[in-house]
Amino acid sequence: MHRAICSNILFSITNSRSPSFIMNRYKLGRLVEDTLYVTPFESLFLFIKGRIRPENPFYSNSLTLMKELLPGSSDLILYTVYEQMKLKGLYVKKESDSLFFRKSPRNEYDGPMKVMRESRDISFQELASLSGSLVATVDDENDTTFFRVYGVEPEGSADLGLPGGISTDRISDRHVAQSEGMPDWIGNDFRGVRFLTELEECLVKEGKEGGVECSENPLFRIYSDLIGRRLIVKTGFKYGTNFRAYTKTMEEHADYLIHFLSGRDEWYKISRAVRVSQGVHKIMIFAGFLDEEIKYVAVERIRDPFYKGQKND
């Protein structure tokens, strides 16, 4: 009888297949003499495929076996993505809370693939720590959506000359200025009057009265940094974000949607922002602070991360 072993559980290999056949066919396990040694994920996958059968009848159903093999709080959700990879014929290894994969032994492993539920909340610091990673989000219906997370340095080439001597006033609750002499990228014209946002007002009066108050506003710090990168920055309200940003001119479409991730937010909101941005052909960027330094992290949704050359959704 051919056997596979996972920890203290013995399995019989079904259909008179040899351990070497199972190892080569399913790209998993290690062979010691004539016994196949498998990890918990590998053994569960082979059990579900009907290739091995527990010798102890106590483990003969999926529920009992899963409880034994997947004791960690994140093991089940990791396994669901692991199984998807294996069904695509990939070599997969688990390291801590990450998965790595490759198509053949000649390739280097790709990854890490981080796995999370749709309801998980995340801070900017945690999002930034995912830079360079793939993220598999498993929703409550057990469907998986894949994302790529990477650090980015948004840059523009717009001519943002700001003339001096601009005086502003208030009408009701709005900051206003004369339209004459104002650059097109600041404010919005209404009957010859230029309406300014709170951040634009801060930019105009920076270094003057009220400038200190503005500099302590984290959203203004990000706005000012983006202006310093020669980007035209306007409200992103229509897209559910703080800003939309143009790299050259407002006569073209905005290149970025940028949102300040201040506290913690649910991952489904991250997903929603990414879907909106890709629907309007823009890059979704999240901004935040690491050790008081402004950082930018882009997130994009991808259809199939397991093969190179795939197109984004």
Residue 171 main-chain phi, psi, to 5 deg: -125, 120
Task: Report the distance separating Cα 75 and Cα 59, nearest Å.
Answer: 18
Judged by average pLDDT, the poorest of 23-27, 161-165, 208-212, 300-304 is 208-212
Percent above pLDDT 90 for the chain: 69
Which residue is listed with tokens 């983006």? 226
What pLDDT digit, counting tens, does each position of 146-157 carry?
Answer: 999 999 999 999
DSSP 57: G
What pLDDT is stored for residue 207 in this prediction? 47
Residues that are catalytic:
246, 253, 282
Q: Whole-prediction pTM value?
A: 0.87
What pLDDT digit, counting tens, does each position of 26-84 carry?
Answer: 999 999 988 999 999 999 999 999 999 999 999 999 999 999 999 998 999 999 999 99
Q: Give the three-class secondary structure for 274.
A: helix
What's the average model confidence in pLDDT over 205-214? Answer: 60
What's the average model confidence in pLDDT over 269-285? Answer: 95
At 46, list the tokens: 């082979």
Specify whether the backbone of 218 is left (phi greater than 0), alpha (psi in -120 to 50) or beta: alpha
DSSP 150: E
What's the average model confidence in pLDDT over 200-205? Answer: 85
Q: Is 193 a residue whose pLDDT tops 80?
A: yes
Cis, peptide link before residue 112, omega less than 30° from 0: yes
Q: Measuring CA to CA, how many Å separate 71 from each of 57, 109, 134?
A: 20, 26, 24
Which residue is listed with tokens 């998807």? 84
Q: Is 111 a residue whose pLDDT tops 80?
A: yes
Give the 3-state secondary structure percentages of the chain, helix then strand then coil, rounded to 5.
30, 35, 40
Task: Report the distance separating Cα 258 and Cα 242, nearest Å.
Answer: 6
Task: Report the distance separating Cα 9 and Cα 54, nearest Å.
Answer: 7
Q: Is 286 a residue whose pLDDT tops 80?
A: yes
What's the average model confidence in pLDDT over 104-119? Answer: 91
Q: Is 303 a residue whose pLDDT tops 70?
A: yes
- The residues with which 150 forms a beta bridge, in sequence order, are 298
What pLDDT is stored for residue 309 in this prediction? 42
Q: Is 180 a residue whose pLDDT tops 80?
A: no
Percent above pLDDT 70 for the chain: 94
What's the average model confidence in pLDDT over 11-28? Answer: 94
What pLDDT is stored for residue 163 in this prediction? 62
The contacts of residue 289 (CB under 8 Å, 6+ apart) are 124, 218, 295
* Every domain of the chain and the residues it spans: 1-70, 159-212
Short-list 158, 206, 197, 207, CA closest to 177: 197
Which CATH code is given to the segment(s) 1-70? 3.40.1170
To the nearest whole number, what is the mean pLDDT of the chain? 90
Write out the DSSP string of 84-129.
HHHHTT-EEEEETTEEEEESSTTSPPEEEEEEEETT-EEEHHHHHH
Q: Is 19 a residue whose pLDDT tops 90?
A: yes
Residue 251 main-chain phi, psi, to 5 deg: -75, -20
7-21, 177-191, 202-216: which has the highest mean pLDDT? 7-21
